[in-house]
A and B are shown apart, each in its own frame.
Chain A
Amino acid sequence: MRIEGKGHIDRAQPIEFHFGGEKYSGFQGDTLASALLANDVHLVGRSFKYHRPRGILTAGSEEPNALVTIGEGAEREPNVRATMQELYAGLQATPQNAWPSLKYDLLSMNDALAPFLSAGFYYKTFMWPKSFWEKVYEPFIRNAAGLGALSGAHNPDTYARAFAHCDVLVIGGGPAGLRAARVAADAGLDVILADEGWELGGQLLSDSAEIEGQLAGDWAASEAQALSEMENVRVMTRTTITGAYDGGTFGAIEKRGTHLANPKGALECFWRITSKRAILCAGALERPIAFTDNDRPGIMNAGAVKTYLNRFGVSPGQSIAVFGNNDNAHQTARELIAAGVKVAAVIDSRTQAQVNVDAPVFTGSRVIGSKGRLRVREIAIETDGETRSLEVDCLAVSGGWNPTVHLTCHMNARPVWEPSIHCFVPLEGAVPGLMVAGAAAGIFSTHGCLQSGGRVAATVARDLGKSPEDPKTPHSQNQSYGIEPLWDAGGTKGPWGRAWLDFQNDVTTKDVRQAAKENYASVEHMKRYTTQGMATDQGKNSNVGALAILADATGRGIPETGTTTFRPPYSPVAIAAMGAGAQGKGFAPQRFTTSHTATVARGAPMIEAGLWYRPSFYPEVGETHWRESCDREVNLVRNAVGVCDVSTLGKIDFQGPDAASFLDFIYCNTFSTLKVGKVRYGLMLREDGHVMDDGTIARLGEQHYVMTTTTAAAGQVMKHLEFVHQCLRPELDVSFISVTEQWAQFAVAGPQSRRLLNTLLDEQINDADLPYMSCGEIGVSGVAGRLFRISFSGEHAYEVAVPARFGDSLFRLLVAQAEALGGCAYGMEALNVMRIEKGFITHAEIHGRTTAFDIGMDRMVSQKKDCVGNTMSRRPGLLDDTREQLVGFKPKGHAQKLSAGAHLYNDGASPVAENDQGYVTSVAYSPSLETDIGLGFLKGGRARIGETMRVVDALRGIDGIVEICGPVFLDPEGDRLRG
């Protein structure tokens, strides 16, 4: 219910919204949670495991219960905290994890089974029989347990990424943060002040205390105003610092549009903020107290009740009891009374507590139970050895406060137990350059927070070479705290006596004790066994309570028990925000060849090769299957001429007096002996003796070479070359650079290839001047280019290269001329078929585990010189005759399909791993041979040509017989190449 005259809401601006299909009304300045409470709605969700009714527990980002889905359709956002969702006109919120409705949830039958669903239940029950896991248990668990669901549609929202730099990052805009930012800014430092809320002030907004004679909230507003007017201050509201990283870097998520009915631009922005110093003023989080049935809607944190009252003008009940173990809880009771709300009782567990509240007071007493199906209606109080019941519609609980130490733990530090205030406080120096002030440092009074914020900022300013004046702390109250620990107030014994710790994941004190009993006594083991702290609040409300119970159950103290690890992010961050700009087409850069436009215009389906896009095939009218196009292209190349863009191969230009020596060291074969105007195949090894890559090297001049690499390995090879030059052979005078983008290069292959080229070349070529494996400078229709007589198809072929700006027109010209000669453009499928027919290897064969010996090229490893991989390639194990060696396969008997990935077994042997003899790496249908052919590796394969083997692909259900043959299927003598 609303309380007149209270709160920072704008009563002149009523807002209508929907929750669970019902229409409600709130005000500008409300959160969804405060507006629901104003409408007397407490029941907002169901718990994860037992589907117990759940109400709003907190007023902040630590909320474990009030998770809702906002919006509809593709834009809907699941698991939004109602406590953080600002109200806007027409907001649509849907409860989660309840079916068919919040009030009648069928899966709440799990709750009736609770005695059987205790910690470790899934591990124990669903393990047997094993075959049931995938088909029965897992789908059941997944259906039953869940939070909000994604829409399944493409996310239409936009997100952004940004960077910021500052002298001081102040994390949190409560009393300590406001003060720290002001003192640092007054000292002349560049300050960023970030707060997760939309209004600065933190706890001050929830307080009726006074600062400098002003209401705390008003003081905060005027300080915020002053800061926003300073040029050296950037105030970032709705911005959560999510992680602390090396070098003063922090991650932050800024909600830019989630509070608007019609957001424009990016919905959220992920920031990387680099600061010289940081001051953590993140405040503290209140913790509940465990007692039987402490999870009913209407049972809330005492601080949250005070926040709803003072900040939003909402009383969460009409008859409220307050239960605590510290003085802070009394303030909630006093303020409720001052606002005219009935306080039914103040229950304080401390026998000596001084309770200055005008309400029935029970000291040395505890709340030990509650009743009420969808909302608390009655509580049980144990006082003076007897149990009383009391009718209430809300219970405000305070088990004390935990400093928000999370960010100080992101670089491996553990917080320190502070026995005087019964909580963990940050370890000093936990994050280099980060200091802690205010409640985050365990200082729980307004005065103390203001003072520590100012002092820490002054220290930081002096560290950064400024001379700040001694900060005068604004005058305010110094509230008492006086906490005495109370973790488990107890209650009903037996299977139904359950006291909740983790409200979202349904972890009870009993579960933690059971984990300890079953020897999951380490806090990390307990966490995983019970799922304690693994809900979306990551244990912010429950971890300290749970480990206190564990400490009690194991007989160790809390400091010995320790905490689990806090990791980034502090609160959930949308992956879409971190990956902003990388959705859909932006996911990876795209590299297009110069022939891309002409190729796409011909209707060629494009496939990705690394970042490149290359054509699969060029369909002709009437062709309905890729094989038809591919077979035609192969036949035309073999019988006339074909054109293919090969610009994606890595091209690296080497120049310098030591270029030859460098290449001799890079490749296992020799290039210093290569004559100018000649091309040689080169094999590159890794230092461990395995093959890294292959390609051709052309010598254009005495000190000038051009290397090609495979498309796939171009980047890796370039890095390798830099490593070898800078780290192993810096004395060699050689320069090299990638020219892949600078040259457009096209293969022209087939018996008509020379004829085709001669229609375009400024000077005619003939076989004598340009024999196989030679190269030279040429003019192509007046453009200076290069011509290489090399072949990856096995045909008489050339590769012609021109500066990239001429690539598009040359490609069109080449294809037109090819078609005039009865040829065509060809794509990757045809290219692959022809290289398999010739037994040419690609990275399907040189996949990182093969050696020069395995592919039959060990004689290329020169014994006359050192090179990368030379020594290790001669290890006996890499030259063993029983190693898997490159061979070819043909299906035997009736027509069978081969498949890459199939394994080979001796004929008659059963296809099990022990009998494995090798595997198939590449297959194709050869239109030239009119059969499937394949390449692959077979143990001792070179000595087994002619043998018959069984080939099994269990994945595709292929089981057949192949004949082992040499890896070259077509023209093994190479007559076509040279012809």
Chain B
Amino acid sequence: MGHASMLNRPEQDAGKDVWNAYLHERANIAGDVEDLWCHDMGCAAWIVVRRNTISHTIYEAKLANEVRDAD
């Protein structure tokens, strides 16, 4: 699903620039990223995965709802 920034949904009245950035603007990073993954054919969990797009190394994976709760 792309960047874990999808977790940070703006308020309804945040304005079109904020909403546009939330929905459409993603950095295409060669290096460390935080992704949102879905365990689609399994337990249906959404996971925040910290990984490297060059080496494919996975540093850490957390359940998305726990990341949200910690915010």
Contacts and interface: CB of A to CB of B under 8 A. Distances in A.
Contacts of A866: 12
A977 B44 CA distance: 39
Nearest to B10: A871
Interface in A148-183: none
Interface stretch (A274-282, A720-728, A749-757, A794-802): A720-728
A722 B46 contact: yes
A728 B23 contact: no
- Name which of B10, B13, B23, B36 has the most chain A CB atoms within 10 A of its CB: B23
Interface string A854-886: 000000000000100011100100000000000
Contacts of A871: 10, 12-14, 19
B25 interface: no
A98 to B, nearest CB: 46
Given A719-B40, A722-B46, A727-B6, A246 B23 contact: no
A358 interface: no
Contact of B65 (A687, A730, A870): A730
Interface in B3-51: 6-7, 9-10, 12-14, 16, 19, 23, 36, 38, 40, 44-46
B12 A870 contact: yes
B55 A730 contact: no
B23 to A, nearest CB: 6
B63 interface: yes
A583 to B, nearest CB: 21
Contact of B68 (A411, A432, A727): A727
B46 A727 contact: yes
Interface residues of B, number: 24
A246 B58 CA distance: 10
B68 A246 contact: no
A687 B12 CA distance: 11
A726 B12 contact: no
A726 B40 contact: no
Contacts of A246: 56
A210 interface: no
Interface in A703-759: 718-719, 722-723, 725-728, 730-731
B56 A719 contact: no
A872 B19 contact: yes
Contacts of B7: 727-728
B interface majority secondary structure: mixed
Given A730-B65, A730-B69, A723 B12 contact: no
A391 interface: no
Contacts of A687: 9, 23
A916 interface: no
A105 interface: no
A719 B38 contact: yes
Given A688-B23, A722-B44, A722-B46, A727 B56 contact: no
B56 A726 contact: no
A875 B55 contact: no
A726 B46 contact: yes
A726 B63 contact: yes
Given A722-B46, A723-B1, A728-B9, A872 B69 contact: no
A277 B45 CA distance: 30
Interface string A245-267: 01100000000000000000000
A722 B43 CA distance: 10
Interface string A656-698: 0000000000000000000000000000000110000000000
A581 B56 CA distance: 30
A411 B53 CA distance: 12
B65 A727 contact: yes
A726 B64 contact: yes
Contact of B23 (A726, A730, A731, A872): A872
Interface in A164-214: none
Given A726-B65, A871-B19, A872-B23, A432 B55 contact: yes
A411 B57 CA distance: 12
Interface in A221-267: 246-247
- Name which of A688, A718, A730 has the most chain B CB atoms within 10 A of its CB: A730
A871 B63 CA distance: 27
A875 B16 contact: yes
Contacts of A727: 6-7, 36, 46, 64-65, 68
Nearest to B13: A871
B9 to A, nearest CB: 5
Nearest to B63: A726
Contacts of A723: 1, 38, 46
A719 B38 CA distance: 8
Contacts of B56: 246-247, 411
A875 B17 CA distance: 12
Contacts of A411: 56
B16 A726 contact: no
A722 B13 CA distance: 24
A432 B54 CA distance: 12
B38 A722 contact: yes
- Name which of A246, A719, A727 has the most chain B CB atoms within 10 A of its CB: A727
Nearest to B38: A719
A723 B64 CA distance: 9
Contacts of A872: 19, 23
A144 B46 CA distance: 53
B65 to A, nearest CB: 4
A103 B21 CA distance: 68
A719 B44 CA distance: 7
A723 B7 CA distance: 9
Contacts of B63: 726
A570 B18 CA distance: 48
A730 B9 CA distance: 13
Given A432-B55, A723-B46, A730 B40 contact: no
Nearest to B44: A722
A483 B56 CA distance: 39
A207 to B, nearest CB: 40
B60 to A, nearest CB: 15
A690 to B, nearest CB: 11
A723 B19 CA distance: 18
Contacts of B68: 726-728, 730
Contacts of A730: 64-65, 68-69
A361 B55 CA distance: 52
Contacts of A728: 7, 9, 68
Contacts of B40: 719
Contacts of B55: 432
A588 to B, nearest CB: 14
Contacts of B19: 871-872
Nearest to A729: B68
A722 B40 CA distance: 10
Contacts of B36: 727
Contacts of B1: 723
Interface string A799-824: 00000000000000000000000000
Interface of B: 1, 6-7, 9-10, 12-14, 16, 19, 23, 36, 38, 40, 44-46, 55-56, 63-65, 68-69
Which 8 pairs show the lowest CB-CB distances between chains A and B? Answer: A730-B65, A866-B12, A726-B46, A726-B65, A727-B64, A730-B68, A246-B56, A726-B64
16 contacts: A246-B56, A432-B55, A687-B9, A687-B23, A719-B44, A722-B44, A723-B1, A726-B65, A727-B36, A727-B65, A727-B68, A730-B69, A870-B12, A871-B12, A871-B19, A872-B19
Given A727-B7, A866-B12, 11 more contacts: A687-B23, A719-B38, A719-B44, A723-B38, A726-B46, A726-B63, A726-B68, A727-B64, A727-B65, A870-B12, A872-B23
